Structure 1
Amino acid sequence: MYQLKRSATLFRQLLQTLKQNYPVEASVIFINREFTLYQAPLDEPIILPTQVNRYLNDLNKFPSKLNDGHRKLAQNLLSLHQTKNPFTSVPEYQYDKLLKGMYCEACKSMLLSVKNNNFVCGKCGGHEKIERAILRSVSEFMVLFPERKITTQSIYEWCSADLSKKTFCRVLKKNYKALGTTRDTYYV
């Protein structure tokens, strides 16, 4: 509810800046029909999925006429719309300068050893199946380097684990489609 109050306050401030005087009523509207909110506070402006149609019908009951002020507000809001999220900036990174290796999913430690088809963390004692850990690393590799092909060699280098290349090859063949032949094989 703090986020709702903050958003309403910021919107009111924006309207004042634009020299527009309109009342603001803020509500949280949940539109996913499968969503359930247990013990929802009755005194908060929350519209649940089962209440959306009634809420919209109630809004439509109020007679309203659009005037030039409304159009001006719409134009101002459209001109302020930002298509690029300023909070998604990713820092620069290069493959050669990144630390390579497998890490514990629980505590992020690089102190892993292999025991019975599992990685065991030397710091927290966490266990993870080798195949699952490799697939997790492949996913991270694909996110960080979408332009690079997924090959046995590239994943072997990226994971830098105490495992044979055959293990990586087996996991990749089992979970991805192989394209190419022999040394040129890559996975999608």
Structure 2
Amino acid sequence: MLITKRKISKELLYCRALSFRSRLNAEESKKLSVLERGYAGECIYDEVFEDVGHGTVFVFRDIYLGIEDSVAQYDSLIVSDAGVTVNEIKNYSGFYRVENGKWFAGSFEVPDDPAVQLKRAMNKLLRLKYIHSLNFGIEGRVVFPHIDFRLNYDDPGMRAKLVMRAELRDYLKQFKNEYAGSYAERIADAVSAHIIDNPYFDKSADFDLVRKGLYCGNCGSFEVTDNHFYMRCGGCGSQETKETHLLRAISDFSALFSNERMTKKRMMEFINYKISSRTALRMLEKYCVRIKNGPRTYYKFKYHDFNEAYYKNEELYRYKDKKMI
């Protein structure tokens, strides 16, 4: 049973939006690649877990826990009456080796030791046990969902801490034999009480430096022209409704500018006045929470990202997008 759904991280949403609206430098491009790869691995893990079933346990996905004066991030927490299992998901590919407790990819040392990260995350839960006067077991595994991952290691004891892609289905199946009763509910309630937003990411882009306008959701081209209820892409020929384009712009604005208030005026600048202010205001009212601050009104996006908002409202659209393949 899912307690929290996995969502695209704020950092990945920021990097994706920035990649469409500016030229990424080498560091930014590398960061985007790492985040995309990590998210893809988490999705593989989730798909396998969905397929084998998890209805008898509580599952937390991608959460941050604030426990006393420390913060820990968890890719997956599985709670049952037997205790808590921590899964640290690493979507590595290629050949890796572990020598004298250090991880290497080729000749380069991996800066973040997955086994140490797992141990640190498990240890944070000891404080949770103490604070809530609970007594539960804590286990953990580092999960490698990529089919092309290979690992050599010099410590035979390490193998018991790892789950490879070929083993993932059988590993997750074991949780069907566990049960989440009243004690698991107490543990899950304790975990839920400590969930916080990611405290580490607060980056904001420079409004003046990002590209303004609307871009095609199919090919990314900014060469879109007004075609009555649609915007037609000059690059691939796709037609997306003006509502879709404005929703994407609202999502991008929310991801890129943590220090900017989303006003109608600012949004019109952001879309380079490609759509009327009347239509823009209607979309802001639909997809955002309106906040009055004296004589000024601004808006906060009420969805996590474009995809969440789009799929929750798509059936209500009078006009449908027409993507070209």
Question: What's the TM-score, normalizing by structure 2?
Answer: 0.36
Residue type of the partner of 2:173?
Answer: T
Q: Give the equivalent residue in structure 2 for 1:129.
A: 241
Q: Say how many residue pairs are matched.
A: 134
1:56-135 pair list within 5 angstroms: 93-135=205-247
Distance 1:22 1:101, change over 3 A: same
Are positions 1:158 and 2:252 aligned together? no
Are positions 1:22 and 2:155 aligned together? yes
Structure 1 residue 104 displacement after superposition: 0.8
Contact 2:242/2:275 (CA < 8 Å) preserved in 1?
Answer: no
CA distance in 2, matches of 1:135, 1:142: 11
Residue type of the partner of 2:213?
Answer: G
Distance 1:16 1:112, change over 3 A: closer
CA distance in 1, matches of 2:215, 2:100: 46
Q: Percent identity?
A: 23
CA distance in 2, matches of 1:16, 1:99: 43
Contact 1:4/1:27 (CA < 8 Å) preserved in 2?
Answer: no
Structure 1 residue 164 displacement after superposition: 1.6
Structure 1 residue 183 displacement after superposition: 5.8
Structure 1 residue 161 displacement after superposition: 3.8
Contact 1:114/1:120 (CA < 8 Å) preserved in 2?
Answer: yes
Structure 1 residue 51 displacement after superposition: 2.8
Structure 1 residue 52 displacement after superposition: 4.8
CA distance in 1, matches of 2:102, 2:271: 54
Structure 1 residue 4 displacement after superposition: 7.2
Distance 1:95 1:5, change over 3 A: closer
Q: Which of 96, 121, 143 is residue 255 of structure 2 equivalent to?
A: 143
Contact 1:179/1:187 (CA < 8 Å) preserved in 2?
Answer: yes
Structure 2's unaligned 5+ residue stretches are 1-90, 104-153, 178-199, 301-325
State which structure, 1 or 2, has the greater radius of gyration over its C-alpha atoms.
1
Structure 1 residue 53 displacement after superposition: 7.2
Distance 1:22 1:96, change over 3 A: same
Higher strand content, 1 or 2: 2
RMSD: 3.3
Q: Give the equivalent residue in structure 2 for 1:171.
A: 283
Residue aligned with 1:97, SS = coil
Structure 1's unaligned 5+ residue stretches are 30-43, 55-84
Q: Give the equivalent residue in structure 2 for 1:13.
A: 99
Q: Give the equivalent residue in structure 1 for 2:174.
A: 51
CA distance in 2, matches of 1:179, 1:148: 14
Question: What's the TM-score, normalizing by structure 1?
Answer: 0.59
Distance 1:183 1:132, change over 3 A: farther
Residue type of the partner of 2:172?
Answer: P
Q: Which has the higher contact order (CA 8 A, sep 6+)?
A: 2
Q: Give the equivalent residue in structure 2 for 1:76.
A: none
CA distance in 1, matches of 2:267, 2:282: 12
